[in-house]
Amino acid sequence: MTNHARHVGRALRAALVASLMTLGPAARADEPTSAPCPDGLPTDARCYHGRDAEGALYWIAMPADWNQVLVVHAHGGPELGTPTLARGAEDLQRWAVMVKAGYAWAGSTYRRGGYGVTMAAEDTERLRQLFIAQFGKPRRTVLHGQSYGAGVAAKVAELVGPPAWDGVLLTSGVLGGGNNAYEFRLDLRVVYQQVCRNHPKPDEPAYPLWQGLPPDATLTRAELAARVKECTGIGLPAAQRTPEQAARLHTILSVVHIPERSLLGHLQWATWLFQDLTQKRLGNRNPFGNAQVVYSGSADDAALNKQVLRYPADPQAVAALAADSRPSGKLRLPVLTLHAIHDPTAFVELESAYREIVDAAGASSWLVQTFSDEAEHSYLGDPEYPALLTALLQWIDHGERPSPEGVARLCAAGEARFGAGCRFRPEYRPSPLSSRVPARTTR
């Protein structure tokens, strides 16, 4: 990264810290409205929804036997459409086990769709303030970030931190900043295009693939899925794919290191999320470079590397994305993580990237990472989440830093109440991110 880019990044970080620390009082928001709880919550829980002072929608659930601990949820995504209460209700349903375990739960939709880690961090902090204004100060307040929301939670923890927040739980985290987390999707775009040559098609206007799509493009998700099916046979039983389709699919998956079931999803993110991120948030500048990347795993790597499209990263875009999303690692409160070893969406190796950042900041004593032998992203085993929260609160209340083995034992003990589903692997350690995503020469 150039000195100019570092200067831009420092200036942006200072402005972001100032914005978080000067949030307006939550009292300006609408009063929470009592509403029926979504299906799956305890029948005696009370639920509320509303709109905060900046327009973000939210849900709050209060269990009848509240243990005086609040869990504020930062959701995944990011969503690209207009936020809706329905999305918040889905989050509340998904994490109903927390309410069943006695925790109050609050979750924001964020004020708008699209990328913006620090914006979402502001909305998450504002919801904490709103909860206190309406329901009083909890004994403890825990921040739970899921997927993209883990990056949001990491930002809140560093820029606000204690005493407002007591601890952080990060699950299936997109960690290490958008630069680390999304570079492989540029790799996917260029490798897919070299293999399939239909996104864009030869008779469509060309554009740099880091843009995702041109601003006026009308391509739909269904149309993209049809193109992927035509090229690779995804959507057909394997026995019905032509040899050419099977070979093209094998090349893409082998070079980019993603499972078949997540290829279309990642390609969609590399289309519409990239369109939002580069054009609406970064001034049509590219934060992802592949100019020096060496790709491997195809039948002819030399030909692939010679022919694949190459793009240099714009230093200002790199700095701006890092300022918005990359954690500093300067933790000041307990942080506990859980990641599925076979997560098809957020690579488990992102945990190594986050660990390296925290270690470099000298804050490793504040971080404990756990892993489970699962292959999902959006939600893991029911009893795992109460076990993690119990371990986190013991750390907060008594200074008992948890071990992965201890969390696994807590989970096993909770299965009688919350059902089977403990699949912790205490001995597991993820490989470096560079083992999954080709290293870049600059950040």
For tokens 């996917």, name the residue. 188
What are the b/e assignments for 372-383, b being 16+ CB within 10 Å?
Answer: bebeebebbbbb
What tokens were used for 60? 């709050």
Higher pLDDT, 362 or 5: 362
Provide mean pLDDT across the span 210-232: 97
pLDDT tens, position by position, 351-383: 999 999 999 999 999 999 999 999 999 999 999
| Calpha distance 433→439 (Å, rounded) | 8
What tokens were used for 263? 């290829």
pLDDT band at 15 (very low <50, low <70, confident <90, very high): very low
Specify whether the CB–CB gap between 305 and 279 falls below 8 A. no
| Calpha distance 178→176 (Å, rounded) | 7
Half-sphere exposure of 344 (CA within 13 A, CB side): 13
Rounded (10°) CA dihedral 33, 39, 41, 47: 0
Greatest CA separation for the chain? 65
- Ordered by start, the domain boundaries in the chain are 3-176+328-435, 179-322
Q: What percent of the chain has pLDDT over 90?
A: 91
N residues, the chain: 443
What is the reported pLDDT for 441?
59
Residue (of 227, 181, 232) closest to 201 by Cα position: 227
Rounded (10°) CA dihedral 219, 223, 227, 230: -160
Provide mean pLDDT across the span 251-271: 97
What is the reported pLDDT for 28?
55
Task: Find all residues with CB under 8 Å of 401, minimum gap 6, and list them.
Answer: 334, 365, 368, 395
pLDDT tens, position by position, 387-429: 999 999 999 999 999 999 999 999 999 999 999 999 999 999 9
- Residue 296 CB neighbours (<10 A): 10
Specify whether the CB–CB gap between 137 and 106 falls below 8 A. no
| Calpha distance 287→318 (Å, rounded) | 4
How many helices and strands, by DSSP H and E, does the chain display?
15, 9
pLDDT mean across residues, the chain: 93
Pick from 21-25, 186-190, 240-244, 329-333: least confident: 21-25
Is 0.85 topped by the overall pTM? yes
What is the reported pLDDT for 29?
61
Q: Judging by DSSP bridges, how do beta strands 57-62 and 46-51 pair with one another?
A: antiparallel
Provide mean pLDDT across the span 130-140: 96
Specify whether the CB–CB gap between 190 and 307 falls below 8 A. no
**Class in CATH terms, 3-176+328-435:** alpha beta
